[in-house]
């Protein structure tokens, strides 16, 4: 009798995750018809933040590489789309993949140099390249519009309405997230985790660490660029500030607070960060202080982020469940 | 369990904070009654001083207005947001203020780039945006529209004023320019050199210097400027850059060797205090303490009492913008965007700087640019214009036909 | 750019050396902390900024006293050392954790400190005049050299010499060098590591805070100083090799001069030159000039 209860519990435990996914998908689909426009705008920002943070986590959580210059690829994606649409008149849906190719190439070049170093040098090098790209974007005003950036980048009329743009973003981000999930759980992803956990050992068993880090860098950059391409038609504008290291701090905070070792971590982090930024911004001018405190607390007491904490508690519950009887 | 305690506290703390923050907009029920004015400005980042001035000037205006009955008998509410020099934040805040908080009017940030982005949003949702800072000509030219209003001075107008002022010095035979290397700096130099050359064609431009914005080390520029020996140095450096330049140039005696015509926005002057150089001439959009009208004096007094320091240029222009909103709303007897725009077309509005008229085709105001010799005043503790002369800036603006042409081209 | 004469060259050289040596003073603390405690402190630039702000307000309180500036430098340095000790205490749990975690924790502190400074003092630019006696310039061989710049160069080289003396000739210095080499052994030999670490962190913070105030008369004090200084300082430490004092000195001079002469060649990209140097050095020698691989 007890064994049966256990078995059904375990079955239930596995499928509840599926339930959560289905329910949230349902909610996500209905929601634009229930909410006024501004919260939908926030949801779009949240979705783009999710993608940005997930792309960042390919480097951080999965490969163990801390980058301070990730916003550069976000910005490249955004600028690519904006320039292709405004200067070459290319349609948005075609501009996105073209922009991603350009982002990928630049990420490949930069990644080639960055993947040859580790840890702190890697962090500073990514920062250096990020700032370099930022400087180029600001100075080349004949091409990029300089500090003013590029304005009036509107999405095509088919997705121009608030609800439709939201669905478009939802679909793109969901597909991209599934792809990233598949990458995490592929032999490639597991190899990266191997490198993260023990570099010397990985090298000794024949893994070409540099090559894998390089590929992770490129993939991570392309997804960040995708997030940027969505962001430019949401805001109708792009400016060099979206490439700098201040913006680069965003996916970092999202991923760390949400949890770098859990797939859903960056998603939780993106939610917290987006809501904090806007709601805290309404109340006090010192929202950076609040975010700083939250980040410090998380790094100190919750090394796996909130996602990691939740996962731990669930694991403990599962243990006590299965061992108690 | 002890190990989990601080972690539990952290998680719960974050959860509680987050849910509190999310619930807040619900508890603050949107009251349709007050007239809401939104101000998005760059309170984080290099421009925070000017942004602070802008927000404080707005506050004084709103408080005064409410004490006198508000707009059309309704209370005025000021909502301030920080765009931190980032266009994406600016756009998001603009959407929040317009769609969620339903503001009637908007005012823009220090950064021209962010302002351009917000201008787009205001046009889409038909909310009048008054530019109370002054900036890139793109704002009212190719990117201008019915819902964009300029109550300060554009780069063209400002540099024209400086050209008028400096061209009067007959002894000048050569000049050099010094401006931060970005769009605004370039426009200021362009807007200066063209009219100046027309007024004094015999003067030679020796060199244009372009230090980067936020440059820490001006020594290379200083030594080369001195070596080139221009009679006039036109400088557009502002804020921290101007302070750095002054401190580094003084030991070289630069200010004794040439006439420096410089951007004289108040915050840098206040910070420099006694250290500001002598014998310079300045130009500024709204030097509050130097303008000698009764309204301005009362404004300066109240500002100093309530805020604790003297107003900057952006304090004045933001104050003027808010009163312009009131003027239009009362004329139209309505706070709706389209109605306000209709009532304001070609209108003349009272401001702290006198009566200002908006041009009908592009909503550009004839706000003057102020020029004058900078003299130390012990009463204030920093250099002020003694006296401040107002130069009309409209002569340099593009004609209506030219502006409409530019807008048409930009739309393609 | 325009003509580069001998005068310009000398001026640039002095200016570059000044900037580089200010970076050195801050980088020194960072290198010391990293070398002895293996802690990466991204908030070191914030300590520099705090020194400038504290110093300004101390100075304005004592303005009319003789030597008010020097007193302010000392007091500001001590105040920042105090703040540094608090930070060190908070960082204790991170000794064992990786550099990534330390970077993240101290990164959070840059946000916190920057906003606190903004809360108390933000909203204005603050300027500090050069102390009496150092305002003008010296004319050597027809070239005007600002006296204060020469003073800064002198002071940082003095600090350098003092540091060398401390490390090479005193017992405390020996302990520090030993700790850099093998921390655990030093602990086993009976030296109380927590005290040593606190001392080292305090010294590093003191120098950074003092540097903040010392550099202030050449420019302005304002929020944003921390971000402006921390990136070049880290670049200096990476180029020189994390933890190496000699490396920090040489790298800071390199960075300072590259920046100064970069302004002559291509002013808008002067910062970028510094990054190019970092990139090149990291590719050729990933551990930095004097770092341990």
> CA-to-CA distance for A191 and B131, rounded, in angstroms?
55
The reply to whether A295 touches chain B by the CB within 8 Å rule is no
Please check whether residue A37 is in contact with residue A161, taking contact to mean a CB–CB distance below 8 angstroms: no
Please check whether residue B62 is in contact with residue B37, taking contact to mean a CB–CB distance below 8 angstroms: yes
Q: For residue C25, is pLDDT > 90? A: yes
Put simply, whether the predicted model's pTM sits higher than 0.80 gets the answer: yes
Q: Tell me whether residues A139 and C269 touch, CB distance under 8 A.
A: yes
Helical spans, DSSP H, in chain C: 6-37, 44-61, 68-91, 99-121, 147-169, 171-181, 183-188, 193-215, 225-240, 245-265, 270-284
Q: Closest approach of chain C CAs to the CA of B213, in angstroms?
A: 9
Q: Report the share of chain B in percent with pLDDT over 90.
A: 50
Q: Report the share of chain A in percent with pLDDT over 90.
A: 35
Q: For residue A324, is pLDDT > 70? A: no
Q: Tell me whether residues B48 and C123 touch, CB distance under 8 A.
A: yes
Would strands B148-150 and B354-357 be described as parallel, antiparallel, or unpaired? Answer: unpaired
**For testing contact with chain C, the best of A67, A128, A248, A281 (most C CBs within 10 A):** A128
- Give the pLDDT confidence score for residue B29 in this predicted structure: 45
Tell me which chains share at least 3 CB pairs under 8 Å with chain B.
A, C
Q: Tell me whether residues A124 and C238 touch, CB distance under 8 A.
A: yes
- Spatial neighbors of A88 by CB under 8 A, at least 6 apart, are none
Contacts of A139 in chain B (CB under 8 A): 181
The reply to whether A142 touches chain B by the CB within 8 Å rule is no
Question: Cα–Cα distances in Å, from B70 out to B35, C13, C103?
Answer: 8, 61, 51
Residue B134 CA, distance from chain mean position: 5
Q: For residue A277, is pLDDT > 50? A: yes
Contacts A–C by Cβ distance under 8 A: 92
Would strands C143-146 and C137-140 be described as parallel, antiparallel, or unpaired? Answer: antiparallel
Q: For residue C2, is pLDDT > 70? A: no
Of A27-31, A259-263, B236-240, the one with minimum mean pLDDT is A27-31
- Give the pLDDT confidence score for residue B8 in this predicted structure: 64
Tell me which chains share at least 3 CB pairs under 8 Å with chain C.
A, B
Q: Tell me whether residues B52 and C123 touch, CB distance under 8 A.
A: yes
What digits encode the pLDDT tens for the residues B118-177? 999 999 999 999 998 888 888 888 888 999 999 999 899 999 999 999 999 989 999 999
Q: Tell me whether residues B251 and C147 touch, CB distance under 8 A.
A: yes
- Give the pLDDT confidence score for residue A2 in this predicted structure: 53
> CA-to-CA distance for B96 and A277, rounded, in angstroms?
12
- Give the pLDDT confidence score for residue C175 in this predicted structure: 86
Q: For residue B27, is pLDDT > 60? A: no
A84 forms bridges with which residues in the sheet?
none
Please check whether residue B331 is in contact with residue B147, taking contact to mean a CB–CB distance below 8 angstroms: no
Query: Encoding tokens for residue B261?
Result: 């015509």
Look at residues A216, A243, A249, A214 and name the one whose alpha carbon lies nearest to residue A72.
Answer: A243
The number of residues in chain B equals 412
> Which of B210, B227, B251 lies nearest to residue C137, judging by beta carbons?
B251
**Secondary structure of residue C5 in the 3-state scheme:** coil
What digits encode the pLDDT tens for the residues B225-239? 888 899 999 999 988
- Chain C residues whose C-beta is within 8 A of a chain B C-beta are 1-3, 5, 7-8, 11-12, 14-15, 19, 118, 122-127, 129-130, 135-137, 144, 146-148, 217-220, 222-224, 228, 259-260, 263-264, 267-268, 270-271
Would strands B348-351 and B354-357 be described as parallel, antiparallel, or unpaired? Answer: antiparallel
Determine how many CB atoms are found less than 10 A away from the CB of residue B13: 15
- Give the pLDDT confidence score for residue A3 in this predicted structure: 56
Please check whether residue A170 is in contact with residue A25, taking contact to mean a CB–CB distance below 8 angstroms: no
SS (H, E, C) chain B: CCCCHHHHHHHHHHHHHHHHHHHHHHHCCCCCCCEEEEEEECCCCCCHHHHHHHHHHHHHHHHHHHHCCCECCECEEEEEEECCCCHHHHHHHHHHHHHHCCCCEEECCCCHHHHHHHHHHHHHCCCCEEECCCCCHHHCCCCCCCCEEECCCCHHHHHHHHHHHHHCCCCCCEEEEECCCCHHHHHHHHHHHHHHHHHCCCCEEEEEECCCCCCCCCHHHHHHHHHHCCCEEEECCCHHHHHHHHHHHHHHCHHHHCEEEEECCHHHHHHHHHHCCCCEEEEECCCHHHCCCHHHHHHHHHHHHHHCCCCCHHHHHHHHHHHHHHHHHHHHCCCCHHHHHHHHCCCEEEECCEEEEECCCCCEECCCEEEEEEEEECCCCEEEECCCEEECCHHHCCCHHHHHHHHHHHHC
E-assigned strand segments in chain A? none
Would strands B354-357 and B259-263 be described as parallel, antiparallel, or unpaired? Answer: unpaired
- Give the pLDDT confidence score for residue B7 in this predicted structure: 66
**For testing contact with chain C, the best of B247, B268, B275 (most C CBs within 10 A):** B247
- Give the pLDDT confidence score for residue B296 in this predicted structure: 92
> CA-to-CA distance for B269 and B14, rounded, in angstroms?
44
- Give the pLDDT confidence score for residue B3 in this predicted structure: 54
Determine how many CB atoms are found less than 10 A away from the CB of residue A163: 14
Question: Phi/psi at C14 (nearest 5 deg)?
Answer: -65, -45
Is pLDDT larger for residue A40 or for residue B410? A40
Helix (H) or strand (E) holding C144: strand C143-146
Q: Tell me whether residues C108 and A252 touch, CB distance under 8 A.
A: no
- The whole-number average pLDDT for the span B81-89 is 86
> CA-to-CA distance for A49 and B221, rounded, in angstroms?
43
Determine how many CB atoms are found less than 10 A away from the CB of residue B359: 17
What digits encode the pLDDT tens for the residues A140-185? 877 888 878 888 888 888 888 888 899 999 999 999 999 999 999 9
Positive or negative: CA dihedral B133, B135, B141, B143: negative
Helix (H) or strand (E) holding A268: helix A265-275
- The whole-number average pLDDT for the span B180-209 is 91
Q: Tell me whether residues B87 and A235 touch, CB distance under 8 A.
A: yes
- The whole-number average pLDDT for the span A43-56 is 94
**For testing contact with chain B, the best of C6, C63, C127, C128 (most B CBs within 10 A):** C127
- Give the pLDDT confidence score for residue A11 in this predicted structure: 47
- The whole-number average pLDDT for the span C174-193 is 82
- Looking at every residue in chain C, the average pLDDT score rounds to 85
> CA-to-CA distance for C98 and B23, rounded, in angstroms?
38
Contacts B–C by Cβ distance under 8 A: 108
> CA-to-CA distance for C240 and C288, rounded, in angstroms?
5
The reply to whether A301 touches chain B by the CB within 8 Å rule is yes
Q: For residue C123, is pLDDT > 90? A: no
Is pLDDT larger for residue A228 or for residue C94? A228
- Give the pLDDT confidence score for residue B13 in this predicted structure: 67
Please check whether residue A72 is in contact with residue A271, taking contact to mean a CB–CB distance below 8 angstroms: no
**For testing contact with chain A, the best of C33, C40, C44, C104 (most A CBs within 10 A):** C104
Q: For residue B412, is pLDDT > 90? A: no
> CA-to-CA distance for B93 and B40, rounded, in angstroms?
7
Q: For residue B280, is pLDDT > 70? A: yes
Contacts of B24 in chain A (CB under 8 A): 279, 282-283
pLDDT band at A232 (very low <50, low <70, confident <90, very high): very high
Q: Tell me whether residues C115 and A286 touch, CB distance under 8 A.
A: yes
For B185, the closest chain A residue by CA position comes to A147
Is pLDDT larger for residue B100 or for residue A226? A226
Q: For residue B90, is pLDDT > 80? A: yes
Q: Tell me whether residues A297 and B88 touch, CB distance under 8 A.
A: no
The reply to whether A87 touches chain B by the CB within 8 Å rule is no
Contacts of C1 in chain B (CB under 8 A): 224
What digits encode the pLDDT tens for the residues C49-60? 999 999 999 988
**Secondary structure of residue C9 in the 3-state scheme:** helix
pLDDT band at C284 (very low <50, low <70, confident <90, very high): confident
B377 forms bridges with which residues in the sheet?
B382
Contacts of C105 in chain A (CB under 8 A): 296, 299-300
Q: Closest approach of chain A CAs to the CA of C193, in angstroms?
A: 22
Contacts of A288 in chain C (CB under 8 A): 111-112, 114-115
- Give the pLDDT confidence score for residue C108 in this predicted structure: 92
The reply to whether A233 touches chain B by the CB within 8 Å rule is no
For residue B284, is the peptide bond before it cis, meaning its omega torsion is within 30 degrees of 0?
no
What digits encode the pLDDT tens for the residues C221-276? 887 788 888 888 988 988 888 878 888 999 999 999 998 888 777 766 777 788 88
Look at residues A261, A272, A266 and name the one whose alpha carbon lies nearest to residue A312.
Answer: A261
- The whole-number average pLDDT for the span A252-264 is 89
The reply to whether A143 touches chain B by the CB within 8 Å rule is no
- The whole-number average pLDDT for the span A199-226 is 91
> CA-to-CA distance for C257 and A306, rounded, in angstroms?
46
Q: Tell me whether residues A275 and B112 touch, CB distance under 8 A.
A: no
Residue A320: half-sphere exposure toward Cβ, Cα within 13 Å: 5
Residue B70: half-sphere exposure toward Cβ, Cα within 13 Å: 13
Of A33-42, A173-182, B273-282, B327-336, the one with minimum mean pLDDT is A33-42
Query: Encoding tokens for residue B312?
Result: 């900057």
pLDDT band at C1 (very low <50, low <70, confident <90, very high): very low
- Give the pLDDT confidence score for residue B6 in this predicted structure: 62
Q: Tell me whether residues A279 and B11 touch, CB distance under 8 A.
A: no
Positive or negative: CA dihedral B141, B144, B145, B147: negative
Q: Tell me whether residues A41 and B116 touch, CB distance under 8 A.
A: no
Look at residues C17, C38, C33 and name the one whose alpha carbon lies nearest to residue C206.
Answer: C33
- Looking at every residue in chain B, the average pLDDT score rounds to 87
For C136, the closest chain B residue by CA position comes to B251
- The whole-number average pLDDT for the span A94-116 is 92
Q: Closest approach of chain A CAs to the CA of B13, in angstroms?
A: 9
Please check whether residue A219 is in contact with residue A54, taking contact to mean a CB–CB distance below 8 angstroms: no
User: Torsion angle of alpha carbons B42, B44, B46, B49, nearest 10°?
Assistant: 70
Of A221-230, A298-307, C17-26, the one with minimum mean pLDDT is A298-307
Q: For residue B30, is pLDDT > 50? A: no
- Give the pLDDT confidence score for residue A209 in this predicted structure: 87
């Amino acid at each position: 009798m007890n064994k049966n209860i256990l078995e059904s519990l375990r079955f239930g435990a596995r499928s509840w995750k599926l339930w959560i996914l289905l329910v949230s998908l349902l909610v996500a689909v209905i929601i634009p018809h229930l909410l006024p426009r501004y919260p939908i705008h926030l949801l779009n920002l949240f979705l783009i933040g999710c993608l940005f943070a997930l792309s960042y986590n390919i480097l951080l959580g999965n490969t163990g590489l801390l980058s301070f210059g990730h916003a550069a690829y976000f910005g490249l994606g955004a600028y690519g789309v904006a320039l292709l649409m405004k200067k070459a008149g290319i349609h948005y849906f075609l501009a996105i993949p073209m922009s991603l190719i350009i982002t990928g190439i630049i990420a490949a070049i930069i990644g080639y140099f960055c993947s040859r170093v580790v840890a702190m040098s890697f962090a500073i090098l990514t920062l250096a390249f990020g700032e370099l790209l930022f400087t180029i974007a600001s100075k080349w005003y004949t091409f990029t519009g300089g500090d003013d950036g590029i304005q009036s980048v509107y999405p095509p009329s088919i997705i121009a309405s608030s609800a439709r743009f939201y669905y478009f973003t939802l679909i793109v981000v969901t597909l991209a997230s599934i792809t990233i999930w598949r990458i995490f759980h592929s032999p490639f992803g597991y190899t990266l985790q191997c490198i993260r956990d023990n570099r010397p050992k990985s090298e000794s068993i024949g893994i070409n660490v540099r090559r894998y880090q390089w590929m992770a860098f490129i993939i991570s950059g392309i997804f960040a660029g995708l997030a940027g391409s969505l962001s430019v038609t949401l805001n109708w504008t792009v400016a060099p500030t979206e490439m700098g290291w201040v913006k680069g701090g965003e996916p970092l905070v999202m991923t760390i607070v949400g949890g770098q070792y859990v797939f859903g971590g960056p998603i939780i982090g993106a939610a917290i960060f987006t809501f904090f930024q806007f709601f805290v911004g309404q109340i006090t001018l010192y929202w950076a202080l609040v975010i700083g405190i939250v980040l410090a607390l998380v790094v100190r007491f919750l090394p796996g982020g909130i996602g990691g904490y939740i996962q731990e508690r669930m694991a403990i519950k599962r243990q006590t469940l299965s061992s108690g009887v | 369990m002890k190990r989990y305690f601080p972690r539990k506290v952290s998680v719960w703390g974050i959860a509680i904070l987050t849910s509190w923050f999310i619930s807040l907009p619900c508890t603050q029920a949107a009251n349709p009654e007050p007239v809401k004015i939104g101000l998005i400005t760059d309170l984080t980042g290099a421009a925070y001083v000017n942004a602070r001035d802008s927000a404080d000037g707005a506050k004084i205006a709103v408080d005064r207005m409410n004490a006198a009955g508000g707009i059309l008998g309704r209370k005025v509410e000021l909502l301030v947001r920080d765009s931190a020099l980032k266009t994406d934040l600016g756009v998001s805040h603009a959407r929040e203020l317009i769609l969620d908080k339903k503001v009637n009017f908007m005012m823009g940030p220090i950064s021209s780039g962010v302002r351009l982005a917000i201008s787009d949003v205001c046009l889409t949702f038909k909310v009048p945006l008054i530019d109370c800072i002054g900036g890139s000509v793109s704002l009212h030219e190719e990117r201008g529209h019915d819902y964009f209003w300029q109550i300060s001075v554009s780069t063209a107008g400002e540099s024209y004023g400086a050209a008028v002022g400096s061209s009067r010095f007959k002894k000048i035979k050569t000049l050099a320019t010094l401006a931060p290397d970005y769009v605004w700096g370039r426009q200021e130099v362009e807007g200066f050199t063209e009219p100046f050359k027309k007024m004094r064609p015999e003067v030679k431009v020796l060199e244009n210097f372009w230090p980067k914005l936020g440059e820490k080390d001006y020594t290379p520029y200083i030594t080369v400027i001195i070596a080139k020996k221009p009679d006039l140095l036109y400088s557009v450096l502002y804020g921290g850059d101007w302070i750095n330049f002054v401190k580094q140039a003084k030991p070289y005696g630069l200010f004794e060797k040439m006439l420096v015509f410089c951007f004289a926005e108040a915050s840098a002057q206040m910070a420099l205090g006694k250290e500001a150089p002598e014998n310079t001439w300045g130009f500024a959009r709204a030097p509050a303490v130097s303008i000698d009208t009764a309204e301005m004096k009362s404004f300066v007094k109240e500002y100093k009492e309530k805020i604790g320091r003297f107003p900057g240029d952006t304090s004045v222009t933001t104050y003027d913008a808010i009163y312009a909103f009131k003027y239009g709303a009362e004329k139209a007897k309505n706070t709706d965007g389209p109605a306000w725009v209709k009532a304001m077309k070609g209108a003349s509005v009272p401001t702290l700087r006198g009566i200002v008229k908006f041009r009908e085709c592009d909503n550009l105001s004839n706000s003057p640019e102020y020029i004058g010799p900078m003299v130390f005043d012990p009463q204030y503790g920093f250099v002020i214009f003694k006296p401040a002369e107002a130069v009309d800036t409209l002569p340099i603006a593009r004609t209506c036909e030219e502006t409409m042409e530019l807008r048409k081209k930009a739309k393609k | 750019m325009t003509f580069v004469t001998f005068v310009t060259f000398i001026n640039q050289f002095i200016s570059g050396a000044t900037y580089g040596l200010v970076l050195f003073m801050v980088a020194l603390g960072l290198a010391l902390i990293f070398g002895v405690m293996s802690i990466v402190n991204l908030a070191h630039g914030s300590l520099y900024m705090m020194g400038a702000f504290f110093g300004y307000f101390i100075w304005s309180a004592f303005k009319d006293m003789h030597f008010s500036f020097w007193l302010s430098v000392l007091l500001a340095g001590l105040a920042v050392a105090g703040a540094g000790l608090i930070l060190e205490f908070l960082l204790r749990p991170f000794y064992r954790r990786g550099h990534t975690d330390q970077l993240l924790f101290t990164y959070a502190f840059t946000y916190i400190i920057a906003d606190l400074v903004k809360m108390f003092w933000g909203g204005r630019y603050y300027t500090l005049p050069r102390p009496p006696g150092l305002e003008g310039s010296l004319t050597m061989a027809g070239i005007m050299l600002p006296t204060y710049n020469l003073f800064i160069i002198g002071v940082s080289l003095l600090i350098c010499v003092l540091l060398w003396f401390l490390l090479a000739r005193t017992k405390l210095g020996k302990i520090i060098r030993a700790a850099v080499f093998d921390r655990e052994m030093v602990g086993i030999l009976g030296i109380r590591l927590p005290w040593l670490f606190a001392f080292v962190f305090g010294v590093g913070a003191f120098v950074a805070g003092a540097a903040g105030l010392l550099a202030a008369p050449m420019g302005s004090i304002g929020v944003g100083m921390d971000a402006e200084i921390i990136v070049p300082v880290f670049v200096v430490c990476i180029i020189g090799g994390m933890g190496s004092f000699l490396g920090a000195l040489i790298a800071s001079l390199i960075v300072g001069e590259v920046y100064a002469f970069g302004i002559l060649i291509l002013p808008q990209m002067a910062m970028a030159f510094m990054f190019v140097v970092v990139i090149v050095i990291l590719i050729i020698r990933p551990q930095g000039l004097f770092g341990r691989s």
